[in-house]
Structure 1
Amino acid sequence: MQYLLDANVFIEAKNRYYGFDFCPAFWDWLIQKNDEQIVFSIEAVYKELTEGNDDLSTWAKSYKNTFFLSPDNSTLAQFTTVSTWAMSQDYQQTAINEFLSVGDYYLVSHALGNQMTVVTHEIPSNSKKKIKIPNACQDLGVQFTNPFEMLRSQNANFVLGST
């Protein structure tokens, strides 16, 4: 199984769960799993992460060419499927416009085209004001999970070393 990480996975990790200063093992694990061709993200997420000038931006820039995938032919072939799905739902037009203009659209398209599992902190919602990644994934047959379940399924283990 290959995983495709949403921007909020990185942002929440940095800000809350796995700060660079107290849990570098998380970030090392991401790179290890990327080297093993298991964990990735996409260029659109890279662009979002590098808008700031912080540790996360620096980290993302260090792995631009290996961790963050460009749209491939399989992804491009799914753009129409995902956009047609979004426009055929009962979402407000502003929600559709936003979804089609941000990384979520590219993330779902890439996962659909490459049979990858999307990893996000988002949860499904019945709101018509915003298209949530899990709603798109459910309707389009794309697997999705949260970062904690991904870590468990991959037997991640962040253990303190001897000092």
Structure 2
Amino acid sequence: MYLLDANTYIQAKNLHYQMSFCPAYWHWLDEQFQAGQLASISSVYHELTVQNDELTEWVKMRKAHFLPVSSEDIQDQFGSVAEYVSGLEDKKAEHIADFLGNADPWLVATACASGATVVTHEAPVPDNSSKVKIPNVCRAFDVPYITTYELLNTLDAQFVLGRSS
């Protein structure tokens, strides 16, 4: 199972897989959800539905793609993630608060509790960075993470242009 970070949806919509010219990507996401290969979490759903754009509308029609984070296992893991991140002495307080204040810790906690892989476009930062990033926290909890492009390769996605006469 793969859990998608909000930035994977946002970057897809804004860049390489815009809904107007690459609807196959969005259809593929639906297919992969139906196959039980990928999902996201309710915290990401809330991040994605604050705008008023085509992605918001797409997400709102797929609320089932976004798993709840209310299980006891996820709640326990969230506590561990929050404690770990709060104890990072070399990080700036505003970066810690930003990380803990959005879906990121819930994504890591859910992946940790379920054995899933996180899909994100965030890159790890060096240990001496003042920022807190998903890949670094994933590493601390032995949670695998990949990018959207790695996900597409892993699941053998193909978006083939049909020929028109």
Equivalent residue pairs, number: 161
Matching residue within 53, 66, 69 for 1:68: 66
In structure 1, the partner of 2:76 is 77
Query: Normalization by structure 2: what TM-score?
Result: 0.93
Q: How big is each residue's C-alpha offset from its partner over 1:17-70, in whole Å with a ceiling of 9 and x where there is no partner? A: 101111001000000000011110111111111111111000000001x20111
Q: Give distance in 2, aligned partners of 1:74 and 1:24.
A: 36
Q: Give distance in 2, aligned partners of 1:79 and 1:48.
A: 18
Larger deviation: 125-134 or 50-59? 125-134
Q: CA deviation at 1:128?
A: 3.8
Q: How big is each residue's C-alpha offset from its partner over 1:105-144, in whole Å with a ceiling of 9 and x where there is no partner? A: 1111111111110000000012543210000001110000
Q: What letter matches 1:70 in structure 2?
A: P
3-state SS in 2 of match to 1:17: coil
Q: How big is each residue's C-alpha offset from its partner over 1:51-103, in whole Å with a ceiling of 9 and x where there is no partner? A: 11111000000001x20111123211201110121122231222222211111
Contact 1:123 1:134 in 2 (8 A): yes
1:152 and 2:143 equivalent?
A: no
Q: Which runs of 4+ in 1 moved over 3 A?
A: none
3-state SS in 1 of match to 2:118: strand
In structure 1, the partner of 2:95 is 95
3-state SS in 2 of match to 1:4: strand
Pairwise mapping of residues 32-71 of structure 1 onto structure 2 (< 5 A)? Answer: 32-64=31-63, 66-71=64-69
Q: Which runs of 5+ in 1 are unaligned?
A: none
Q: Give distance in 2, aligned partners of 1:33 and 1:100.
A: 29
Query: Normalization by structure 1: what TM-score?
Result: 0.94
Q: Provide the identity percentage.
A: 40
Q: Give me the CA root mean square deviation.
A: 1.1
In structure 1, the partner of 2:121 is 121
Q: Give distance in 1, aligned partners of 2:78 and 2:136.
A: 16
In structure 2, the partner of 1:162 is 163
Contact 1:41 1:68 in 2 (8 A): yes
In structure 2, the partner of 1:108 is 108
